[in-house]
Structure formats: structure tokens, C-alpha cells
């Protein structure tokens, strides 16, 4: 699976059809080996601290990935003229959630 921003750049009919259809928009959260390996390299942490650290790193990675996906969606679906209005409306919805 490709992130929305990368999929939208592919010059391939199936990729462009998926972008146009807006049926499914995935959020790609990279978890490279060094990301996972860095989670348990603190010998002074308890198991609870390691789990807490993991949750925060995953949450932050998810937020960064979501922001990139939102930016790509706004660019592809709202157009230049309406981008600011789309961003504002989305920010309001997210703040309510």
C-alpha cells in the first residue's frame, strides 16, 4: 500500500482511479527497524515505562502520518482556491472530536 501523497503522484491508471474514487484513503505509518529497535534500548525502563514510551511514539508517528495524508487530500480534492476553507473546516471538526 502506498500513502495517499505517493499514490496520487503515480502516473498509472489504477492509482489515479483510486484517488478519484475516494473509496478508501489509507494512512501509512512507517515503523522502520530503527524505530522499533529504539523502543527497548533503555535498560533503566520498567516494562510499564517501555509500553508508555511505545504508545507515545506510535501516537506521534500516527499524527505525523495523518497530517501528511490530510495535506495530500486537501491538495487533491479541494483545489487551490478552497484549500484554506477545507483546512479550517477540518480543523474545527478535529477540535470537536
Model's pTM, two decimal places? 0.75
Each residue of 34-93: pLDDT tens digit? 666 666 667 777 888 888 888 888 888 889 899 999 999 998 899 888 999 999 999 999
Please, is 60 exposed, middle or buried when counting C-beta atoms within 10 Å of its C-beta (0-12, 13-18, 19+)? exposed
Domain boundaries, the chain: 4-96
Amino acid at each position: 500500500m502506498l500513502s495517499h501523497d505517493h499514490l496520487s503522484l503515480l502516473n498509472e491508471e489504477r492509482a489515479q482511479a483510486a484517488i478519484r474514487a475516494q473509496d478508501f484513503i489509507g494512512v501509512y505509518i512507517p515503523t522502520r527497524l530503527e524505530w522499533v529497535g529504539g523502543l527497548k534500548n533503555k535498560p533503566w525502563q520498567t516494562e510499564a515505562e517501555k509500553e508508555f514510551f511505545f504508545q507515545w511514539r506510535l501516537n506521534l508517528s500516527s499524527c505525523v502520518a495523518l497530517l501528511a495524508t490530510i495535506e495530500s487530500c486537501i491538495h487533491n480534492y479541494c483545489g487551490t482556491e478552497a484549500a484554506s476553507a477545507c483546512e479550517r473546516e477540518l480543523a474545527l471538526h478535529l477540535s470537536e472530536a
